[in-house]
Structure 1
């Protein structure tokens, strides 16, 4: 059977039989891949610890009928243990993994999405910023790469510049009063500006922001992300 080698992020694992695992991987060149890692749950396994969620690996696989088979694994980024040790970081990583699964399909290589997720997991494991902020910044950028950029500096409908007071996930971000459909709620200017800062990575501003304002910005981002992902993200929550 043909073999291939690729960089991969372990997004999910599932027990199979007594010693095996089914892995869901986000790969650099092959998109989303489901593969079997045989014997990794045995204590004698040489690479079981490398195939935990949120680890980044260089993997050799061969093509199976329904699931590929992991043959060899070299560790690239050991982020899983540090993320799993902190509950908020673990929730954030799970939300990012859920989003990646929705945005990248099988046989759908998206290198930019791969590197974006790797960078976010690395930052999360090093506690460079709060888990909430790292997650929200990732979601905004990943959705932008997928074709759904959030608009915070001009009306998402008519393009009128300005700090508009209404936010519509369905329409793509802030909207002016003329374009806002009935029932679109108002959003305070600080929260909207923080959404923009999270998108552009203005970390000096974000790290010093008022936690309540960040929570409100997270609420806007959660609504925006779940609308475009077309499902509720179970791990996505604000404080």
Structure 2
């Protein structure tokens, strides 16, 4: 049996090790979450140190080790880190996205989670939608893939189609007046509409939503995520939620445009968030 394998991966986190090495936490397409050592990447002479920055999508060759695997070769597929680290709003949003991915894939291998993550990072880097919408859509869809799909079009308890009066994370989403538990939130119908659009990937509706609905939906998404993870995301509180973000703002000069194999990967990723 070969002790070496290749896979696509997103760099979730990095930690320095010793004077020149770095420990990587990767979400791979076929092997789930992997921790591996990239030796010598902090040296200026490293062949692939710059390719292993957070948020980057890479094709990586890994050798199975005793305690940690070892990265032996890296090719860049999409260097999203360049664009995401240059904009504070994009950076904080991307950090929350990769932390969510790390939590949801700690014990589960899912190529769908990988594709959702690469799609969200591509949408952020190319400024296809407002960052807060990309984040909330990613969280809802990643939770759905993990088995915690919320209900926004009918009562999560009785299945009644409406009118929906409240939102309850423990109950599984929207609830009608008869099933509404004490203390539950009472979002506007427009907010339920936006939440449903974010879950379904209806960007025509989401992109034209009002600021009030975006603020309200973001709060509900954060509560729903915390309930199922049974903990808060540390990065979520630092997200720069600029609800008036101009989604039509062009990417700055020098923005990475994929070609060849990287372009094919980018196109596949965009299908997830389109």
Structure 1-normalised TM-score?
0.96
Moved over 6 A (4+): none
Match in the other structure for 1:199? 199
- Cα deviation for residue 212 of structure 1 reads 2.2
Greater relative contact order (Cα 8 A, min sep 6): structure 1 or 2? 2
Q: CA deviation at 1:154?
A: 0.5
SS in 2 for 1:165: strand
Is residue 36–residue 69 contact of structure 1 (8 Å, CA) maintained in 2? Answer: yes
CA displacement, residues 195-239 of structure 1 (integer Å, 9 cap, x when unaligned): 111111221222222122201111111111111122101222445
Tell me whether 1:41 sits opposite 2:71 in the alignment. no
What SS is found at the alignment partner of 1:119? helix
Q: Is there any run of 5+ residues in structure 1 with no aligned partner, and where?
A: none
SS in 2 for 1:175: strand
Which residue is equivalent to 2:138?
138
| Matched residues, number | 238
Pairing 1:150–2:144 present: no
- 1:4 is aligned to 5
Alpha-carbon separation, structure 2, partners of 1:83 and 1:163: 40
Give the SS at the match of 1:179: coil
The Cα of 1:145 is off from its aligned counterpart by 0.5
Partner of 1:123: 123
User: Alignment RMSD, CA only?
Assistant: 1.3
Q: Which segment drifts farther, 200-209 or 210-219?
A: 200-209
User: How far is 1:155 from its partner?
Assistant: 0.5
| Map of 1:86 onto structure 2 | 87
Is residue 170 of structure 1 aligned with residue 170 of structure 2?
yes
CA distance in 2, matches of 1:128, 1:163: 33
1:164 is displaced (CA, Å) by: 0.6
Structure 2 equivalent of residue 66 of structure 1: 67
In 2, Cα distance between equivalents of 1:91 and 1:180: 34
Q: TM-score, normalised on structure 2?
A: 0.84
Deviates more, 1:207-216 or 1:164-173: 207-216
Structure 2 unmatched runs, 5+: 243-274
Q: How many Å apart are 1:102 and its aligned residue?
A: 1.3
